[in-house]
Each structure stands twice: as C-alpha cells, then as structure tokens.
C-alpha cells in the first residue's frame, strides 16, 4: 500500500502533508510531517497540483484557505477535531460585543467560519509570540482555555478566555506526570500547552509537537517524557533513535481515523475535496496571513 500510494502521488503530482500525530505507517507516505504551524507554511509553498492532508479537518481547511486554487483532499471526513467544534461564530461575536476594544485571536484548531471572524490565528508553537505582537491590550482567546491560560502567564495583556479544550490533553493528570517522573528521574519533561496549567508547571520545556523534536535533539539529556498525544513518542523515537522517550497521554481517535487505505482511495478517486464558501475563505485567509506575518 505504501508503494502504491507513493507511485500514485507521482502520477498525479500530489503531495502528502501529515501531522505528527498520524499513524506511523502514514509517516511512510508523507512528503512532509510537522506541527500545525509547519504544515500551514508548507501548504503555502508547495508546487504540487493536489494536496492530500493527513490530519484533522481544520488542518486540511487551513491548507485550502492558504492555497485556494489547489485541490485539497482530506481522506476521512470523520477526522474532525472536537475542540475546534467547541466554539461557534455566535460565541465569538457575543464576546466581541461585550469587549469591543479587544482583538480576537483564534487558535488554528477552529472552523473556517470562526477564523473568518477572527483578527489573527495562532498555533501552539507561536501563541505567546502572536498575542504579544498585538498592539491592543485586551485579547479574546478561543477555543483552548488551557493554551490561553498558559499564554496569560507569558503576557501582560488581559486575556478573555472562551471555553473549549482538547479532550486528549485535558485528561492528562498531574499525578500521571509525577508518576512518570518518579519512574524516570533522569528524563526531561516536555509538555504540550494544551495541557492543564498544573501539568504545564511540571515541564522542563513547553512545546508544540515539532518543538518537542527540536528540544530533545538539542538537549544534552538522553531520556524524555513527552506529555501530549501518545503517538508523539513514536515520532520522537523515529527522529532521534539514540534517545529514550516515554509517553504520558492518551490517543486522539480523530487523528488515528486516517489509514493508508483511505489515503489511497481518496487520491485515486479524488474524493474528500475540501470545499468552503469563498467569502469565508477570503476572511479566514486574512487571519492566517496575519499569523504568518508574525512568524
Ligand atoms: P501542534 O500544532 O503542536 O502540532 O498541535 C496540534 C494539535 O492538535 C495538538 O493537539
Ligand atoms: Fe484536536 Fe486534541 Fe486531537 Fe489535537 S489532539 S486534533 S486538539 S482532539
């Protein structure tokens, strides 16, 4: 199946972008693997005719928004990020009415219509930088309450949080992290900022998924505990085989919904096309472009 997909990609001038949380066999067909920020940047720069996006819906949508003339295929329509579905345009506009001087920062884990009413997007890799780059003192931050709470510890701005969370990261308990530290006292702890603040406090480094790769490559430590979706430890081991990685965190079922068979079928039949309203795409692009100007 890996060979078949790689041949089909060449025939169709397609590129496969895949998130770090994908199944390990998907890594083998990906032209580029990364975190949300890297994948958004890669989507802007590809010359391929077709982008097959192995990740959750908002990632494939962002690729389409940034590259409206390209065909973007998403292999599984049920691969939908539940956090992105937790905030609606109505919630955001209601908050804006309440805080008219504020600027709306939406995490890239949002639907296209929420991005379209936002001033700027951010990812886990650049949220602090994006918020601190703004001239306004008041920020509506949506939908990840945990990420917003973390950003607040790094910013003097007033951050108004709209409610939302990632079920995978929010379920990670501080007890689990402390237990892993006891078992592996020499390991450094890398925590994704979608975790709760009490978990983040246990971190040696707060990292997006790809920042975990960079951090563990550059650190002098030889063991690491990665506190995020458990598949990340497989990616870390693949990238840095001479170091040890321990995983604390559950599985993102939506990310794991994509299989090699679904990737092959969608590219062969050109199904799963991401199609969005032009007006929404134009406005959402402004928020994504604003972010890409900052980082
Ligand atoms: P990253 O941008 O850090 O890869 O995070 C994406 C995500 O969905 C984490 O749950
Ligand atoms: Fe969404 Fe959480 Fe899955 Fe990331 S890990 S895609 S935030 S549900």
Whether the CB of 102 sits within 6 Å of ligand 1: no
Query: How confident is the model over 51-72, as a mean pLDDT?
Result: 97
Query: Which atom belonging to ligand 1 lies closest to the Cα atom of 56?
Result: 8
* 269-273: average pLDDT: 98
Same domain flag for 207 and 243: yes
- Our answer on whether the CB atom of 208 is closer than 6 Å to any ligand 1 atom is yes
Domain count for the chain, please give it.
Answer: 3
**Ligand 1: does its nearest atom lie under 6 Å from the Cβ of 166?**
yes
The minimum-distance atom of ligand 2 relative to the CA of 83 is 1
The model's confidence at residue 65, banded by pLDDT at 50, 70 and 90, is: very high
Q: How confident is the model at residue 123 (pLDDT cuts 50, 70, 90)?
A: very high
Taking CA atoms only, the protein residue closest to ligand 1 atom 7 is: 36
Q: What value does the mean pLDDT take over residues 126-143? A: 98
Q: Residue 22's domain spans which residues?
A: 2-80+255-275
Query: Which pLDDT band, with edges at 50, 70 and 90, does 26 fall under?
Result: very high
Give the chain as a 3 state SS string.
CHHHHHHHHHHHCEEEEEECCCCHHHHCCCCEEECHHHHHHHHHHCCCCEEEEECCHHHHHHHHHHCCCCEEECCCCCCCCCCHHHCCHHHHHHHHHHCCCCEEEEECCCCHHHHHCCCEEECCCCHHHHHHHCCCCEEEEECCHHHHHHHHCCCCCEEEECCCCCHHHHCCCHHHHHHHHHHCCCCEEEECCCCCHHHHCCCCEECCHHHHHHHHHHCCCCEEEEECCCCHHHHHHHHCCCCEEEEECCCCCCHHHCCHHHHHHHHHHCCCECCCCHHHHHHHHHHHHHHHHHC
Q: What's the pLDDT at 140?
A: 98
Q: Which ligand is nearest to the CA of 193?
A: 1
* Residue 109 Cβ contacting ligand 2 at under 6 Å: yes
67 CB within 6 A, ligand 1: no
Residues 182 and 214 reside in one and the same domain: yes
Confidence of residue 287 (pLDDT cuts 50, 70, 90): very high
pLDDT given at position 124: 98
Residue nearest to atom 5 of ligand 2 (CA): 252
196 & 216 share domain: yes
252 CB within 6 A, ligand 2: yes
Summarised one tens digit per residue, pLDDT across range 235-259 is 999 999 999 999 999 999 999 999 9
Query: 145 and 288 share a domain?
Result: yes
Whose CA is closest to atom 3 on ligand 2? 252
Cβ 62 under 6 angstroms from ligand 1:
no
Q: Are residues 235 and 195 in the same domain?
A: yes
> At 244, which CATH number?
3.40.50.10800
59 & 98 share domain: no
Q: Can you give the pLDDT at residue 40? A: 95
Span 214-225, pLDDT tens digits: 999 999 999 999
Q: Give the ligand at the shortest distance from the Cα of 56.
A: 2
- Give the pLDDT band of residue 49 (cuts 50, 70, 90): very high
The pLDDT-based confidence of 292 (bands split at 50, 70, 90) is very high
Domain check: are 52 and 68 in the same one? Answer: yes
Q: How far is the CA of 106 from the centre of ligand 1 (A)?
A: 14
């Amino acid at each position: 199946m890996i060979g078949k997909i790689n041949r089909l990609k060449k025939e169709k001038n397609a590129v496969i972008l895949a998130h770090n949380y994908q199944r390990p066999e998907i890594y083998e067909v990906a032209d580029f693997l990364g975190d949300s920020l890297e994948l958004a940047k890669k989507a802007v720069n590809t010359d391929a005719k077709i982008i097959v996006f192995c990740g959750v819906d908002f990632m494939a949508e962002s690729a389409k928004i940034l590259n409206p003339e390209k065909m973007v295929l998403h292999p599984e329509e049920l691969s939908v990020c539940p956090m992105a579905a937790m905030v609606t345009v109505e919630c955001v506009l209601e908050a804006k009415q309440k805080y008219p001087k504020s600027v709306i920062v939406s995490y890239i884990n949002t639907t296209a219509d929420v991005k379209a009413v936002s001033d700027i997007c951010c990812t886990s890799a650049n949220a602090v930088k994006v918020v601190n780059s703004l001239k306004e003192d008041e920020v509506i931050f949506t939908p990840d309450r945990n990420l917003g709470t973390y950003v607040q510890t790094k910013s003097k701005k007033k951050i108004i949080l709209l409610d939302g969370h990632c079920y995978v990261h929010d379920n990670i308990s501080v007890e689990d992290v402390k237990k892993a530290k006891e078992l592996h006292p020499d390991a450094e702890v890398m925590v994704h900022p979608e975790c709760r603040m009490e978990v983040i406090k246990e971190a040696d480094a707060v990292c997006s998924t790809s920042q975990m790769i960079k951090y563990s490559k550059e650190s002098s430590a030889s063991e690491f505990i990665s506190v995020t979706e458990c598949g990340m430890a497989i990616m870390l081991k693949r990238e840095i085989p001479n170091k040890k990685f321990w995983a604390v965190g559950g599985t993102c079922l939506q990310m794991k919904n994509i299989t090699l068979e679904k990737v092959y079928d969608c590219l062969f039949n050109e199904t799963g096309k991401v199609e969005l309203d032009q007006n929404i795409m134009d406005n959402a692009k402004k928020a994504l472009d604003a972010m890409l100007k900052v980082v």
